[in-house]
Chain A
Amino acid sequence: MTRREFLKRALALGAGAYAAAQTGLLSLLDGVAEAAAAPPTIVVASRRDIAGRVRAAVEALGGMGKFLKRGGSVLIKPNVAWIRKPEYAANTNPEVVAELVRLCRAAGAREVKVMDNPVDGPANRAFSTSGIAAAAEKAGAKVLPATSAAMFQKKQIKRGKVLKETQTLRDLLRADLFINVPIAKVHGTTRVTLGCKNLMGTVLDRGAWHQSDSLDQCIADYAAEVRPHLVVLDATRVLLSNGPKGPGQTRDLNLIVAGTDPLAVDAYGVKLLGLKAEQIGHLKRASQMGVGELDLNRVTVKSV
């Protein structure tokens, strides 16, 4: 090749590349590359006060407007399983719930519902003692303990290995935005209770899961079927022993972990509780079902 020929070829290639870039051909290739290699992102917010952390975390994920169109309906599902005061770290911190409600309303939500099917009864007692009813109502949400069977409807679990069908909250299936707001706790049966385990509160017939061949597999099956749009893990005060009800040893971590990949958030929560994600049965099975990324090495952790 002569020098002239080389220059001609180089120019042609460059022009071709420029043209390709303009037509978006390269970006297409980029997109493919991105999909293959981009790890899920989770955000860990610290410092500030509770509300500030929640805001910072949601902002870092793109803002509530990214998840919710104006006029949409929201279902916020905190952990309100137990009749315990907030300081016992058995339920989600009420201020976390309240701030999420405020953010949804500011983004133009038509209605924000805060619901759960508590384990302890009477159900409204769990909502009041935990402080969540008062805080959420003040922020402008409708708080509805899901105790009536009429609030649930049958749902098929298509890829379920053990769980084939269940009764799920109607409001969950109708909501435009479903935010899962668990609190990080250890758990006597499942080792930890984070986002995936928190979904059990959206189901009417929990007893059937316990009676089945594998509670862990039921949790994984359900998590594969019902995916929240956003998971906000409350790690303000976590429960380190005698979970899920306590009373036990608590620790004030003052963190919020948020993300769109349920398993990535849960994996980080497991780390916060001082355990290894592969050892958690329901999380491992959920990973096998493709719920998300369990390996934190393949997750981008953004600190804000």
Chain B
Amino acid sequence: MNGLTTPDLVQMLAAMLFCIGMFGVLSRRNLLIVLMSIELMLNAVNVSIVGFSREMAHLERGAAEGGQVLVLMTMAVAACEVAIGLSILIALFRHVRSVDIDAPRATLLRN
């Protein structure tokens, strides 16, 4: 590692995880996998925030804890998002009998 510090390593890891999730969202057609990829992207952001929080832990009291609280909030939002997303998926499956996001009748909302 040419001069790469541990905090930078964590941020790079978060960036790579985010991009893997982005690849999944852009390339896959199965709505279940797309939702999982979105979860991976949210996790990458969590990793990034926790890394920054750890970096600022030596600052005055309260500077770093905000980041940790923010991660808990992100987790709650992610849980809500998955619940809504999966129920939309089930509603879509009932109508179209497919979880392919490019299925002929699944794209009705687009135009």
Question: Do these two chains really belong together in a complex?
Answer: no
Which B residues contact A (CB, under 8 angstroms)? Answer: none
List residues of A whose CB falls within 8 A of some B CB.
none
